[in-house]
Amino acid sequence: YPPSSQMEETSLLRRSGCRAKGGTPGFKVAILGAAGGIGQPLAMLMKMNPLVSVLHLYDVVNTPGVTADLSHMNTGAVVRGFLGQAQLDDALTGMDLVIIPAGVPRKPGMTRDDLFNINAGIVRTLCEGVTRRCPNAIVNLISNPVNSTVPIAAEVFKKAGTYNPRKLLGVTTLDVVRANTFVAEVLGLEPRDVNVPVVGGHAGVTILPLLSQANPPSSFTREEVTYLTNRIQNGGTEVVEAKAGTGSATLSMAYAAAQFADACLRGLRGDAGIVECSYVASQVTELPFFASRVRLGRGGVEEILPLGPLNEYERYPLLKTFLLTCQYVYWQIINWDIHM
């Protein structure tokens, strides 16, 4: 059985004391949608993160079981479960980082935009909770379509007067993870040694890998560029089709989200030189939101890095990226407003 809340608080205080002596802050992290395909492995990875002192797991189903299970892991984070909307505010109180994978996934034949009507409402409700209970938290938004859920979250925060564009980050790390994996396969390198920036957005051709900026610097044939760009842009669909109606990427996504959340926490701790790609409010292009490399710090996004030199192959799709992302974002927000 779960420990009494008094025991839990005592244990938390003791453990926070230990951390303070060691000089490492412990952060409070909430996962909303924690019982889902992404939520469960992500919760496990965050339970293993030494920077996390408190882990709140919120969902509309199954959180008692997931919480009991994870709470037996002998790592520092204290895990608490919250079930149903009546417990949303408690789940969010005092959080430093809120990770949102709540929402429905794609089935074969669907685009991410087909998820908009359901997921926009879910994201809105959850972000309203954030405005009430942890308006200064960093929010990592995973729910699709990211190109539109991030602008929607921004509107919710603006309406409540709590919007801080530096703290709202759409999670596009899986695109980078895929790019690193596929490029490493082509070049015969260790995937962990490869870093490819992926900019634009998180849907189809708006996913633009900048292969010319791959690290280590590498040259690709035109065929390789075409193959890699298509594979990275269609990585999500590749998984949706392989899962044949049972969902979309969950394990690789949890891995990517845990990596991104860890980067946000290291930034909050004050570590220097933390750079990740993320879909954020941006002035890098004429679009209001754009994924590019950002430097993370105590305030969330401290700096949006310039796109850097693009080659001819990258410039043409970038133009398409602009146009399509614009259409996704505005068309959907306009339609969504009508339903509000």
Binding site for ligand NAD (CB under 6 A): 32-33, 35-39, 59-61, 101-106, 115, 119, 122, 125-126, 142-144, 146, 171, 174, 202, 247-250, 253
Which does residue 35 touch among ligand LMR, ligand NAD, none (CB within 5 to 8 A, set by kind)?
ligand NAD
Task: Please identify, using beta-carbon distances, which residue of 92 and 249 lies nearer to ligand LMR.
Answer: 249
C-beta of residue 104 within 8 angstroms of C-beta of residue 37: no
Which does residue 201 touch among ligand LMR, ligand NAD, none (CB within 5 to 8 A, set by kind)?
none
* Paired sense of beta strands 27-32 and 52-59, if any: parallel
Active-site pick, 56, 72, 202, 339: 202
Binding site for ligand LMR (CB under 6 A): 105-106, 112, 144, 174, 235-236, 239-240, 248-249
The Cα–Cα gap between 330 and 335 comes to 8
Structural element, H or E, at residue 8: helix 5-22
Which does residue 239 touch among ligand NAD, ligand LMR, none (CB within 5 to 8 A, set by kind)?
ligand LMR
Min. distance of Cβ 340 from ligand NAD in angstroms?
16
Quickly count: other Cβ atoms within 10 Å of residue 31's Cβ: 32
Looking at residue 215, the DSSP 8-state letter turns out to be B
Task: Please identify, using beta-carbon distances, which residue of 125 and 285 lies nearer to ligand NAD.
Answer: 125
The Cα–Cα gap between 295 and 304 comes to 6
Min. distance of Cβ 327 from ligand LMR in angstroms?
18
Min. distance of Cβ 83 from ligand NAD in angstroms?
10
C-alpha distances out from residue 86 to 62, 91, 156, 239, Å: 15, 10, 19, 34
Which does residue 38 touch among ligand LMR, ligand NAD, none (CB within 5 to 8 A, set by kind)?
ligand NAD
Min. distance of Cβ 138 from ligand NAD in angstroms?
16
Identify which of 164, 199, 163, 172 has the alpha carbon closest to the alpha carbon of residue 300.
164
Active site residue 72: no
The Cα–Cα gap between 65 and 216 comes to 44
Catalytic residues: 202
